[in-house]
Structure 1
Amino acid sequence: MLTWGRGRWLVPACLALGLLTACSPTVTLQPGPFAPDPVCAAVIQLLPAELAGRPQVSTTAQATVAWGATDAITLRCGVENPPPTTDRCVTVEAGGSAVDWINPEADSPLLPPNALAEGGAWTFITYGRTPAIEVVIPAATGIEQPTAVLVDLAPAIQRAPASRFCVEATTLVP
């Protein structure tokens, strides 16, 4: 009769774990130029493990997170701060404070490459926060209220200090 000692189960267990890890999806992203900023580390640590019913998955770049194996919602911390723009700026209130986001138009130079996928995507870039943070929500996710995703991200995003805020068009002087 063949008997297995406790140590003999270690090899098959490690092999099984390795196979499971190899099958886990990984989303390819480019890091932002300011990804090494310590604020990004604080933001990333506070992000939810699940977003819009999608589990967090591995990414290939520092200061990035993705949720969902296909049509992943992505977040990159440490992207370039957006310049003055006429793109829509929205304020998302959550947890007693607000986060301002620029929502670039389809032809905006602010759009990252992963937002240009077939079918389109909602792209949001924090306004007035350093480092800037970008969120891309592919249309293929079927999420009808993309700003609801921003509400869920707000507690983490608030770790990046705000120095500027959206202004309403009515407050601009001609």
Structure 2
Amino acid sequence: MLATAGLAAGCTPTIGVPVADDAANPVCADVVLALPDVVDGLHQTKTDSQATTAWGEPGAAVTLRCGVAPPGPTASEPCTTVPGADADVDWLASPDAEGTWTFVTYGRDPAVEVKVPPTVRKDHSTAFIGDLNGPVSKIPQKHRCVGLDDVPTPAS
């Protein structure tokens, strides 16, 4: 019985995720070890790179990479403070031409990137991003999203 269970476990697919440039940063290990086993009903699965994880099946998986280059301020991608049970985290969000949404933490170095392909989005919301805030907040926040309300205006 145990031998059969071991064989079944050995058949778990591994998802290819490109390693980030700063994946060896020690804080990335803290982030990845603290990530949830399940997000929005998708179970965590093995990946082939340091400081990465995935939830779902090959071809239909959310992927996470820690150690990506922190983005600078931008007006082309919305910066949103996403509330979470453990912490609020600022994320930049943008879709590509194929419909994959990429979320990158703002104001944290190293940054964390989460990709949500259309094969996942058709059945799942991206609201689970807030569930990643606790682990991601292990990377200290150095900057935050700002909006027009944060820009000083001359007194009239």
Fold conserved between structures, TM > 0.5: yes
Deviation of 1:165 after TM superposition, in Å, equals 0.2
- The 4+ residue runs of structure 1 with deviation greater than 2 A are 16-19, 142-145, 169-174
Shift of 1:53: 0.4
AA at the equivalent of 1:41: A
Matched, 1:104 2:94: yes
The answer for the alignment partner of 2:64 in structure 1 is 75
Task: State the one-letter code of the partner of 1:24.
Answer: T
How much does 1:13 deviate? 4.7
Tell me the equivalent position of 1:49: 37
Could you state the TM-score of these two structures normalised by the residue count of structure 1? 0.77
Once the two structures are TM-superposed, the CA of residue 170 in structure 1 deviates from its matched residue by 4.0
Please list the CA deviations of residues 8-59 of structure 1 after superposition, one character each: whole Å capped at 9, or x if unmatched: xxxx854x35532342111001111110111101111110011110111000
Q: Deviations over 1:47-104 (max 9, x none)?
A: 0011110111000000000001141011100001112321110111123631000113
**TM-score (normalizing by structure 2):** 0.86
Displacement of 1:128: 0.3
1:1-174 alignment runs, 5 A limit: 13-14=2-3, 16-17=4-5, 19-70=7-58, 71-86=60-75, 87-95=77-85, 97-106=87-96, 119-141=98-120, 142-143=122-123, 145-146=125-126, 148-172=127-151
Q: For 2:36 and 2:124, how far apart are their aligned partners in 1?
A: 20
Query: Using the alignment, how far apart are the partners of 1:28 and 1:95 within structure 2?
Result: 30
Indicate the SS of the match to 2:88: strand
Distance 2:86 2:131 in 1: 13
* Structure 2: runs of 5+ lacking an equivalent: none
How much identity, in percent, do the aligned residues show?
38
Q: Aligned pair in 2 of structure 1 residues 58, 105: CA closer, same or farther (>3 Å)?
A: closer
Instruction: Give the helix-richer structure, 1 or 2.
Output: 1
For 1:143 and 1:39, the matched residues in 2 are separated by 32
Residue identity opposite 2:107 in structure 1: G
Per the TM alignment, residue 149 of structure 1 is displaced from its structure 2 partner at its CA by 1.1
SS of equivalent to 1:104: strand
CA RMSD of aligned residues (A): 2.1
Gaps of 5+ in 1: 1-11, 107-115
Which structure has the bigger radius of gyration?
Answer: 1
